Each structure stands twice: as C-alpha cells, then as structure tokens.
Amino acid sequence: MRLKMTFRLKKPELDIEYRRMFLSLLKNAFQQASQEVFDRLYGNGTAMKPFTFGVFLTKPQFKDSIILLDSPDITLNFSTPLTELGIYFYNSMIGRARRFEGYPLSNGNDMILTRVALIEEKQVTGNEAVFRTLSPFLIRIHNKETNEDGYLAKQDEWFGREIETNCGVMLKELTGKEDSVQFTPVAMGNSIPIRHFGILVEGNTGIFKLTGNREMLEFIYKAGMGSRRSEGFGMLDIVS
C-alpha cells in the first residue's frame, strides 16, 4: 500500500534533520490509530519495521542547521507491504487532515496536512527489476569489536555484497523466508553525507537492478531497501 501526503508549512523551512520530525509524526499517527499497532511496532525499539517513507522537498537550500525551501508545500510518501498496517496509517492521517490539525515543529514552525492520496502500486513481472531511489538508502555495518556502526558508500569495496546481505536479512525477518537477491548498479550517484540523529551517515541514490524471486523483489519495492527504512530512507520506485 502506497500513500502520498501533502503538508503546508507555516514557514518554508525545515530543520536539517527533518526525517526525525516525520518519524515522530508517523509514531504519533500509529499511536492515535491503535495502541496495539503502536506497541507492536515500537514496543521493542530495535524491531525491524515493515514500512518505509520518503520526503520530497522543493528546491532545498541547505543553510547550516536549516533547509530553506522554494515552496511551503512538502510531500511525504509512505509505503508498506502490509495492507492492514497501511489502512491504520491512512485512517489516522485522514482524520488529521479533516481536523486541520497542525503538527508543531522547531523554531516556531508547524505544518498542516492538506491532502492524502492512495498511489497505485507498480508490479514486478519477472525475476529482475530496475529501481530508482525516492529517498537515499543506507547500508549499515556493525563492528562487534568496537560495538559501533558504520555506513558504506558506493565506492567501498564490499558495497554490493553488503546490500545483498542486508536484503537477505530483511526478507528473512519480515517474511520468514530464506531468500537472496543480486545487486547490479545501473546509474548510481555519488554517496552523500546526511546528518541523522546527530551523526553523519552515507546516503546512496540512483538507479540499480535487483535479480531474484519475483515476490521478494516486490516485497523490497513495498518495504524499502537498506537500513533505517522506517526513519525515512530506502524508498524505491520501479523503473522497469
């Protein structure tokens, strides 16, 4: 299930870590929809979440700790392979739009949800699909010796292999099936540093091909790819 939501800002600017704000909004929406659903998603904070989202900003200008925008309208795209979860979120956001309920932001700013729309999902028709990123994806690796996380950029030696490993782990945890995919870059952009929760992570964008079981490719399309998908990373669109 895929949704597109339009918000109008009081001031056409956002904090540089705007994904945290939208993560807070999503958590609030799920809690308003159902405490049971909220507890299932966030009762164990480290549990993998079956959804992703991406935010589209109009002509952003990055200025130190804020982003200046050309328009006060911003778009939030949301995707999940679980229809029931999507319906809970949809109903909660529709209720917010009908109440003209603002959502407070930093620096005296706020935003109001003005439109919620269902987006028709595309279909994976074979054992390979070409995707493009709607939000940067992250590939996190954990150093057991130092107990620290790192994030791979496309120039790193094990980038493709770790993408495939990451997808396999996600598919096993969220679908219960042992499966794998093969990653092939098509037109990947340069990795970009993104500030998120006070640290810099490597965001990867562009076009790539995944090869594997058709159902698993469709699941990745709907659930997103990479690490921290439920925090605004890894949302995908199908090119072909």
| Domain count across the chain | 2
What string of DSSP letters covers 49-101? PS-EEEEE-SS-EEETTEEE-SSSEEEEEEE-S-HHHHHHHHHHHHHHHHTT-
User: Measured between alpha carbons, how far is 202 from 149 in angstroms, rounded to an integer?
Assistant: 12
The pairs formed by 153-161 with CB atoms below 8 angstroms and a separation of 24 or more are 153/191, 153/202, 153/204, 154/185, 154/188, 154/190, 154/191, 154/204, 155/191, 160/184, 160/185
By residue range, what is the domain housing residue 99? 2-119
Strand partners, 77: 4, 54
Cα angle at 40 between 180 and 138, to 5 degrees? 40
- Give the end-to-end CA distance of the chain in Å, rounded to a whole number: 19
User: At 144, which CATH number?
Assistant: 3.30.70.1900
User: Measured between alpha carbons, how far is 69 from 59 in angstroms, rounded to an integer?
Assistant: 6
Phi, psi (rounded to 5 degrees) for 137:
-105, 150
143: alpha, beta or left? (left if phi > 0; alpha if psi -120 to 50): beta
Shared-domain flag, residues 61 and 83? yes
Is 118 exposed, middle or buried, given 0-12, 13-18 or 19+ CB atoms closer than 10 A? exposed
Q: Which residue is listed with tokens 């200008």? A: 61
Residue that finishes a domain, picked among 69, 101, 119:
119
Residue that finishes a domain, picked among 67, 99, 119:
119
Map residue 35 onto helix, strand or coil. Answer: helix
Tens-place pLDDT, residues 137-176: 999 998 877 888 899 999 999 999 999 999 999 999 999 9
Phi, psi (rounded to 5 degrees) for 174:
-90, -25
CB 135 within 8 A of CB 229: no
What is the DSSP secondary structure assignment for residue 112, as one 8-state letter?
A: E
Using 70 as the pLDDT threshold, list the residues of the chain that sit under it: none
Shared-domain flag, residues 134 and 112? no
Shared-domain flag, residues 110 and 177? no
Shared-domain flag, residues 91 and 139? no
Shared-domain flag, residues 180 and 85? no
Strand partners, 204: 137
Shared-domain flag, residues 95 and 164? no
pLDDT of residue 45: 74
Tens-place pLDDT, residues 41-51: 999 877 899 99
Record the tokens describing residue 69, joined without a space. 């925008």
pLDDT of residue 44: 82
User: Measured between alpha carbons, how far is 138 from 150 in angstroms, rounded to an integer?
Assistant: 10
- For residue 31, what are the contacts with CB-CB under 8 A and spacing of at least 6? 38
